[in-house]
Structure 1
Amino acid sequence: MQLPRLPGGGGAAIVSLLLLLCSHMEVSLGRGSSNATAADELALTDFKSMLLDPTGSLVSWNSSNHYCSWQGVTCSRRHPEKVVAVNLESSGLAGRVSPFLGNLSFLRILNINDNKLLGEIPPELGRLGRLQELNLSLNSLEGGIPSALGKCSKLISLSLKNNHLQGEIPTHFGSLKNLVYLNLYANNLSGEVPPFLGNMSSIQHLDLGENTLRGPIPKTLGGLTGLRYLSLESNNLSGAIPPEIWNVSSLMLLSFVNNALSGIIPPNALSNLPSLQTLFLNQNQFHGSIPTSLGNASKLQYFEVAMNNFSGLVPSEIRSLQSIQWIVLAYNSLEAEQTDDWSFMSALTNCSQLICLELDYNRFSGVLPSSVSNLSTSLQYFSVSHNEISGVIPEGIGNFVGLLTLGLENNYLTGTLPHSLSKLRSLSELSLSNNRLTGHINQAIGNFTQLNYLYLHINSFIGSIPRSLGNLSSLLEIVLSSNNFNGTIPSSIFSISTLFGLDLSHNQLEGTIPHEVGNLQSITILWAQSNRLSGEIPDTLGECQLLQKLQLQNNFFHGSIPFRFSGLKGLVTLDLSSNNLSGQIPIFFENLTTLHYLNLSFNNLAGEVPTAGIFANATAVSVQGNDKLCGGIENMHLPHCSMISSEKKHKFPVVTVILSLGGALVIILLLAYFLFSWCKKRLANCPSASSLQDSPLSAYSQLLKATDGFSTNNLLGTGTFGSVYRGEIEGATGENFVAVKVLNLQIHGALKSFTAECEAMRNLRHRNLVKVITACSSIDFRGNDFKAIVLEFMPNGSLEHWLHSKSNEEGVERHLNLDQRVSILLDVAHALDHLHFHSALPVVHCDIKPSNVLLDADMVAHVGDFGLARILAEGCSSFWPSTSSMGFRGTIGYAPPEYGAGNTVSTYGDIFSYGILVLEMVTGRRPTDSTFEQGLSLRMYAETAVNTRVMDVADAKLAMELKNEPAKSGVPSNRKMVDAVTSLLQLGISCSEEIPSRRMAIKDIIKELYRTKMTLLQGE
């Protein structure tokens, strides 16, 4: 999450400006001695010698210029030969920080922010006794923070954010009594939050977010009476928030997002925070009520407590928040039923600056009060989805003329759509699905000219589909399924060239599919099954080159299967069953290599069934109910084609065969059922094995013993739903070590994650997938539920640690050369290929990122963590999930944009995440890197350099490898290595296209990577 900037000079930039002004305010009292000036010039020269300067930022650093005139160097007025500031921010420098900088004895400002520096911070910087600002942020620095920095007693601002620093925060920092600004955000710092920070009374800005700090929040922080900004987000902190924190009256921002904090928030917690503007408590385990003292924080602008266990009513004291803009209460257990319970909605009408109100996934019921119509006209995001709200949609909803997102799905709303809805001309997403709405859809829906997503499915709408939908030229997805729409499909819909998803299934539509359907050049999913459509299937569908899923079953289509379907090279599933189609099965289906499901059953097809391509897999093709078909592979159990002509002479044998086949089918189904039940039981409970006993309690005790009581010494890492420990199972053959993933069942969604991972991994076996040894559903010694998954142990850890940290536990430097990076990307691509196309059912991983790619002893990559995986079972109603912005699958930065908008989970989503992974491996930058602001993204960052400045964006370690690699026999030249890096960048860009259908196919990804690997192996 990008935290809002503090107004009124709360950031480090103001500190820097003041310090720079101070360095120039020394009044000249006469030129001092220059006898010792050589030391400063020598220190700068040595500093330059350890740097790469591809952009020429240091071109002025030469002997023809006095060093005080070098770019970024400032000398003192009082002592003209002494350097007081070195500012080389965003200069594109690579290399290491020179220890000789410690010889700049008059230095007050050292700012090398936003470069590509690596290596450790030299402890010699601790000799800079006059240093007031040190900014080494946004680099790739590693190792621990030198305790010697605690000797810089005049330090006012220290920023080391967005590096790969490890270890604990040095205790010597307690000596920095003048420190105002401390930012250690986004590193790999461990240990507890040190209590001595509370003794640094001058601190105003403290950011320790995005690290691996654990334990409780020290109550000593409550002694920082001047603290304005406190962020401890995305760590492993536990326990309650100390009450002392709530008494720091100067606080303007407080963020504890994504920890394991628990307990209640005291009713008077916010009574003493009159300056508070931002409060983020998302993704923790808080329970109890939202404090009634909320109204005392009258300057509050951002209030987010999503993904906790808050319950009870929303306090009506919220009316006092005159400056509030953003309220997110989703994913809790908040309630409202009676009219009085909804009084907070009336209270919110006083909040005239409100922009966002998210109440999704709670227990709100009763009727949505009419006072909702009086909310701020500035409202842009309003969502109360996944509750139990009944009644009609208030007519006053049309007052929100600036509304961008309206989410009312998954409730019990009734009645017709209010006429005022047509006023919301700025809407980009309208989701009313899974309610009990009725009536017609007015032609005024054509006024939503900015609409991208329209979800009206699972209601009781009647009448025809409005032709005015054709006016919505920006639409990406229309889902109108499971209603009572009748009449014909308006041809105007097929003029929307941007459309990539159209679902008209389960209605009462009649007539033909207009031939204009061929205009949908971006369509990837077209579902029109279970209607009353008739006529021939238009051959213009063959022009929809990006079409992947086409379902037209349960209609009245006749004629033959169009030959132009042979042009649908990306088709994955095709269902034409239960129609009146005739003619032969086209032979071109054999050549559609992406086709993995073909259902032609219950038609009037005749002739010989092909045997190659998809027809070689009897489980992927269904042709039953076509009595005139013959041939095919043996497993299809069709008659030989030579028998068809004598069918009338052998009626009795044919009947016998059919009955025999039917009996065999029943037996097969029973066997499959019992096998499925056995597998499910095996994964849901601890299996009996030499490593784990039959008793649930003894199973828990074995895992407890294997991990030394789930000791922190065996902790391999933590994730959203639990922790992973290294374990040693006694009596196991071969490798004794395993990884034990223990679910934290107190976290919302953990149980669902356990079930999803078990289901996804049930039949998955592949060289590049992490092997699940067993799953355990048990109880601990206290009688509490205990669930764990025992996995194959990966001694080389995760790809995340290789990309963003220096060394392993043995102190060996972690570095991936170019060949290793290509090999790992190939391994992950093979894993995705297996999941998407070669498993029993297609599986979408939904969370491809470096921390979920594990490396074995041979550096072979294995994809793990299937806690968010989705099995794509055809016909599943959950194929179109919630559109809530709080409910998308995956990790921010890696999740595709369509998931954020609530689109269907698909293999396209994994390809996007994979593309981001490729770009991260090449650039060494996370997609959430704070440098990507003001619309810039990792993909855009790569795009700007892919043709001309590849070395500028390449990971510093990779750039050094390419620069220093000599051309020799059997080793690729520097040119070929640069070409390989360029190819990888282009691959990542192609995979991360915003429009899903434009993303690269997995088979093409594998081909491209093999081509790159061969280039590297062949050398010159």
Structure 2
Amino acid sequence: MGNLKNLLVFNAPANDLGSGKAGDFDFLSSLSNCSRLQHLGIEFNRFGGVIPNSIANLSTSLRILTLGGNQIAGSIPEGVGNLVNLNRMDMRENFLVGEIPISIGNLQNLEGLNLISNHLTGKIPSSIGNLSRLTELYLSNNKFEGAIPLSLRDCKNMQKLHLSYNKLNGSIPNQLFGAFESLAYLTFSHNSFTGLLPSDLSNLKNLVELYVDNNNFFGEIPKNLGESSELTILFMEKNSFQGNIPQSFASLRSLEYLDLSNNNLSGTIPPELQKLPFLVSLNISFNHLEGEVPKGGVFKNVSGFSFSGNEKLCGGIPEIELPKCFGKVLSTKVIIAVIFSILLGSILAVLLVYLSWRRKCGNALTHVALFDDGFLRLSYKELLQATQGFASSNLVGSGSFGSVYKGVLHQQEKPVAVKVFDLQNRGAARSFMAECKALRKVRHRNLLKIITCCSSIDYQGNDFKALVFEFMPNGSLENWLHEQHESRYLNLAQRLDIAIDVANAIDYLHHDSKTLIVHCDLKPTNVLLDDDMIAHVSDFGLAKLLSSDTGNLGTDQTSSSMINGTIGYVPPEYGMSGAVTPEGDIYSYGILLLEMITGRRPTDDFFQDGLSLHHFCKKALPEGLKEILDFRLLEEIDQYRQRIRSQPNLEEQILECLVSFTKVGVACSAEVPGDRMSIKDAIIELHATKARLLRTGVYTRDRG
């Protein structure tokens, strides 16, 4: 290649070049003869070994150097500083170690630097401040430590700054962000930053996405943050912020996602938040908020509003089932009346329970023993009438433990799903109890909402057990993936949304519910879709409640021999007498994602002779992904490519999103539990993928 003295561009991405071993970069020395070379691109191949010092001898005309997505080890050579005309350098997703060389500051024409997902250490060099033309800096997913260098403020053209998932610490000085007038994307989540959030963030008038979550920030949220009127995503969860939610947030008219959960916020919820026209997701869980919950905007969407862990909230729409709000001062007469009513009600309740026990002689579990008074009480007769005698015309599904019927209760206009357990089947009664225990204390927008249970006797004197759920009109994910109907098709954006919904449900069960719950049977048939195509995880018949302090099985669970699960989705360790763990759900979730991407079930006859869905997808990444995609996704990409010819790189951009999507599925379904991606990391990766997909301009934010 050294004889190609007039070579301008050598670009060979996403091939199978290299051996993954030392010596793969020996060809670089010959390229030093190509004095006019401007573009060297070999990203997403198999190049291994270290980058040789001879890289310093490449043409000073070189403008683009992309080595990302290989297997490169060693450190970044100091000699890269000789490539003074570089506009873009991309070495992401390798195994680079050591520190960023100080000579990086020589690249004063550099506009984009991407070192994401390596093993780089040390401090971020202050010499980066010399890169006055820098618009994009990606340093996430490394091991950088120390403070952000103040010299970074000299990069006044910065538009995207990604510093998340490192070991950065200390406080962030106020003078740092004030100069970044063009900054649109800023993330420094998952570090160890402390102190107050810098107030000069308000200078970022063009900021679209801000992630400061999972740090140690404290103090009040800056009120002037409400001046960043272009913000669409604001994640501030898992810090120690105090005080009130700023009233100024009402000015964030473009805001779509706001997460303030797991802080120490107090006071009331600003009612102005209900007027934000695009806000679709608000999480204020686990703070110390009190007072009335508004009823408009995002607050009237149960699936988009999370508030658990705030014991003093009241009001809101009936569906969230909070206590009614009372005035701050009650008269003595009112207090006496309330106390008297409670005492009288308690006496009557005890009397009714006693009479019921006497009448049934203990033959059936009572509703009161299973669910508290916050749930609707229903009799066998009422369920019989609601389903028209459990008519076959109302049957919507059946499983190993019973059948599900569509019905309408006389107390409600909306249809419900009535799951009737076939108690002749072994394990059905235990499945009923497992679902009751798991569901009576959980509430999340992505879990199927239980309305009540019924444990009684039928007209023949037989035990009768049923659960009543909110009805999901769009059926299961299984039907959407595998039924070949033109009207039932999930585009890529919808699949990502569903993946995020299910991940949020798992995250809640594993980390935010009062008792850690392992679902044990995640699969497409147990993911149901509502009118807005929002996913709800269902069927907790195999769920295991783990003790919150030890993570061990509760007393009602024993060994993995009790685990039934579903073939193809059960993690391999469960078949080797492994204990039930949250990582088992992560495995099932990963398989579910890969099924969404390929359109193939893990039990497909295609997977034989040691080939599994996990290995099938892992082997295809990244360059062979198109060969394994669900054919409907391929058709979708082709249709967009033909319709939007003004974006020549559109297909490549969509495929990059699919690669990221698939990588999450592969990482979650790793065979060894300790190697699996955490559900929180999966959520972050999927949100980032969705954001990149939306920026292509061909998908809308509408989920319908």
**Corresponding residue pairs, total:** 450
Show the counterpart of 1:877: 685
Are 1:663 and 2:450 an aligned pair? no
- Seen in structure 2, the aligned counterparts of structure 1 residues 752 and 656 have a Cα distance that, compared at 3 Å, is closer
- Displacement of 1:909 in angstroms is 3.8
**Residue among 18, 23, 26 paired with 1:335:** 18
Are 1:585 and 2:269 an aligned pair? yes
Are 1:373 and 2:56 an aligned pair? yes
- Confirm or deny: 8 A CA contact 1:847 1:868 kept in the other structure: no
- Could you give the per-residue CA deviations for residues 558-592 of structure 1, whole angstroms, max 9, x where no partner exists? 11111111111111111111111111001001111
2:494 and 2:439 map into 1 onto residues whose CA distance is 37
1:523 and 1:347 map into 2 onto residues whose CA distance is 44
Are 1:621 and 2:305 an aligned pair? yes
Show the counterpart of 1:851: 643
2:266 and 2:497 map into 1 onto residues whose CA distance is 43
**Residue among 201, 207, 222 paired with 1:517:** 201
**Residue among 247, 250, 265 paired with 1:563:** 247
- Confirm or deny: 8 A CA contact 1:329 1:360 kept in the other structure: yes
In structure 1, stretches of 5+ residues that fail to align are 1-317, 692-737, 742-750, 799-844, 854-864, 882-902, 915-1000, 1003-1020
- Could you give the per-residue CA deviations for residues 462-492 of structure 1, whole angstroms, max 9, x where no partner exists? 1111111111111111010111111112222
- Displacement of 1:430 in angstroms is 0.5
Show the counterpart of 1:457: 140
- Could you give the per-residue CA deviations for residues 11-30 of structure 1, whole angstroms, max 9, x where no partner exists? xxxxxxxxxxxxxxxxxxxx
The equivalences for 1:236-635 within 5 A come to: 318-491=1-174, 492-635=176-319
Secondary structure of the equivalent of 2:231? coil
- Could you give the per-residue CA deviations for residues 379-418 of structure 1, whole angstroms, max 9, x where no partner exists? 1110110111111111111110111101000111111111
Secondary structure of the equivalent of 2:272? helix
- Could you give the per-residue CA deviations for residues 476-519 of structure 1, whole angstroms, max 9, x where no partner exists? 11010111111112222132111111111111111112222211
2:147 and 2:138 map into 1 onto residues whose CA distance is 16
- Could you give the per-residue CA deviations for residues 88-118 of structure 1, whole angstroms, max 9, x where no partner exists? xxxxxxxxxxxxxxxxxxxxxxxxxxxxxxx
- Seen in structure 2, the aligned counterparts of structure 1 residues 322 and 648 have a Cα distance that, compared at 3 Å, is farther
One-letter code aligned to 2:439: G
1:326 and 1:437 map into 2 onto residues whose CA distance is 29
2:212 and 2:326 map into 1 onto residues whose CA distance is 37
Show the counterpart of 1:886: none
- Displacement of 1:325 in angstroms is 1.2
TM-score by length of 1: 0.39
- Confirm or deny: 8 A CA contact 1:415 1:438 kept in the other structure: yes
- Seen in structure 2, the aligned counterparts of structure 1 residues 472 and 458 have a Cα distance that, compared at 3 Å, is same
2:128 and 2:315 map into 1 onto residues whose CA distance is 52
- Displacement of 1:639 in angstroms is 1.7
1:686 and 1:585 map into 2 onto residues whose CA distance is 44
- Confirm or deny: 8 A CA contact 1:475 1:498 kept in the other structure: yes
Show the counterpart of 1:277: none
Secondary structure of the equivalent of 1:406? strand
One-letter code aligned to 1:587: P
2:63 and 2:111 map into 1 onto residues whose CA distance is 10
In structure 2, stretches of 5+ residues that fail to align are 350-367, 376-435, 451-468, 501-523, 534-595, 610-615, 617-626, 646-652, 665-679
- Could you give the per-residue CA deviations for residues 106-136 of structure 1, whole angstroms, max 9, x where no partner exists? xxxxxxxxxxxxxxxxxxxxxxxxxxxxxxx
2:475 and 2:63 map into 1 onto residues whose CA distance is 50
One-letter code aligned to 1:397: V
- Confirm or deny: 8 A CA contact 2:24 2:47 kept in the other structure: no
1:422 and 1:648 map into 2 onto residues whose CA distance is 73
1:754 and 1:336 map into 2 onto residues whose CA distance is 38
- Confirm or deny: 8 A CA contact 2:145 2:166 kept in the other structure: yes
- Displacement of 1:333 in angstroms is 1.0
- Could you give the per-residue CA deviations for residues 980-1000 of structure 1, whole angstroms, max 9, x where no partner exists? xxxxxxxxxxxxxxxxxxxxx
- Confirm or deny: 8 A CA contact 1:757 1:869 kept in the other structure: no
- Displacement of 1:851 in angstroms is 2.8
Secondary structure of the equivalent of 1:320? coil
- Confirm or deny: 8 A CA contact 1:326 1:355 kept in the other structure: yes
- Displacement of 1:369 in angstroms is 2.1
- Seen in structure 2, the aligned counterparts of structure 1 residues 340 and 411 have a Cα distance that, compared at 3 Å, is closer
RMSD between superposed Cα atoms in Å: 4.8
- Displacement of 1:612 in angstroms is 1.2
2:315 and 2:264 map into 1 onto residues whose CA distance is 21
1:676 and 1:867 map into 2 onto residues whose CA distance is 31
Highest relative contact order (Cα 8 Å, sep 6+), 1 or 2? 2
Show the counterpart of 2:357: none
2:494 and 2:256 map into 1 onto residues whose CA distance is 29
- Confirm or deny: 8 A CA contact 2:657 2:692 kept in the other structure: no
- Seen in structure 2, the aligned counterparts of structure 1 residues 790 and 537 have a Cα distance that, compared at 3 Å, is closer
- Seen in structure 2, the aligned counterparts of structure 1 residues 739 and 511 have a Cα distance that, compared at 3 Å, is closer
2:483 and 2:234 map into 1 onto residues whose CA distance is 41
- Seen in structure 2, the aligned counterparts of structure 1 residues 595 and 755 have a Cα distance that, compared at 3 Å, is closer
- Seen in structure 2, the aligned counterparts of structure 1 residues 592 and 340 have a Cα distance that, compared at 3 Å, is closer
One-letter code aligned to 1:622: S
Please tell me whether Structure 1 or Structure 2 has the larger radius of gyration of its CA atoms. 1
- Seen in structure 2, the aligned counterparts of structure 1 residues 424 and 677 have a Cα distance that, compared at 3 Å, is farther
- Displacement of 1:593 in angstroms is 1.0
- Confirm or deny: 8 A CA contact 2:20 2:71 kept in the other structure: no
The equivalences for 1:732-747 within 5 A come to: none
1:580 and 1:433 map into 2 onto residues whose CA distance is 32
- Displacement of 1:849 in angstroms is 6.3
- Seen in structure 2, the aligned counterparts of structure 1 residues 347 and 880 have a Cα distance that, compared at 3 Å, is farther
1:409 and 1:445 map into 2 onto residues whose CA distance is 17
- Confirm or deny: 8 A CA contact 1:756 1:867 kept in the other structure: no
- Confirm or deny: 8 A CA contact 1:506 1:531 kept in the other structure: yes
- Could you give the per-residue CA deviations for residues 308-353 of structure 1, whole angstroms, max 9, x where no partner exists? xxxxxxxxxx222121110011001111444433321222222222
- Seen in structure 2, the aligned counterparts of structure 1 residues 428 and 904 have a Cα distance that, compared at 3 Å, is farther
- Confirm or deny: 8 A CA contact 2:28 2:54 kept in the other structure: yes
- Could you give the per-residue CA deviations for residues 725-761 of structure 1, whole angstroms, max 9, x where no partner exists? xxxxxxxxxxxxx7999xxxxxxxxx99998799799
- Could you give the per-residue CA deviations for residues 696-747 of structure 1, whole angstroms, max 9, x where no partner exists? xxxxxxxxxxxxxxxxxxxxxxxxxxxxxxxxxxxxxxxxxx7999xxxxxx
1:381 and 1:441 map into 2 onto residues whose CA distance is 22
- Displacement of 1:428 in angstroms is 0.2
- Confirm or deny: 8 A CA contact 1:753 1:868 kept in the other structure: no
The equivalences for 1:717-796 within 5 A come to: none
One-letter code aligned to 1:574: L
- Seen in structure 2, the aligned counterparts of structure 1 residues 509 and 635 have a Cα distance that, compared at 3 Å, is same
- Confirm or deny: 8 A CA contact 2:298 2:304 kept in the other structure: yes
- Confirm or deny: 8 A CA contact 2:8 2:38 kept in the other structure: yes
- Seen in structure 2, the aligned counterparts of structure 1 residues 683 and 758 have a Cα distance that, compared at 3 Å, is farther
- Seen in structure 2, the aligned counterparts of structure 1 residues 682 and 611 have a Cα distance that, compared at 3 Å, is same
Secondary structure of the equivalent of 2:23? helix
- Seen in structure 2, the aligned counterparts of structure 1 residues 414 and 538 have a Cα distance that, compared at 3 Å, is same
1:404 and 1:571 map into 2 onto residues whose CA distance is 33
Q: Percent identity?
A: 32
- Displacement of 1:624 in angstroms is 0.7
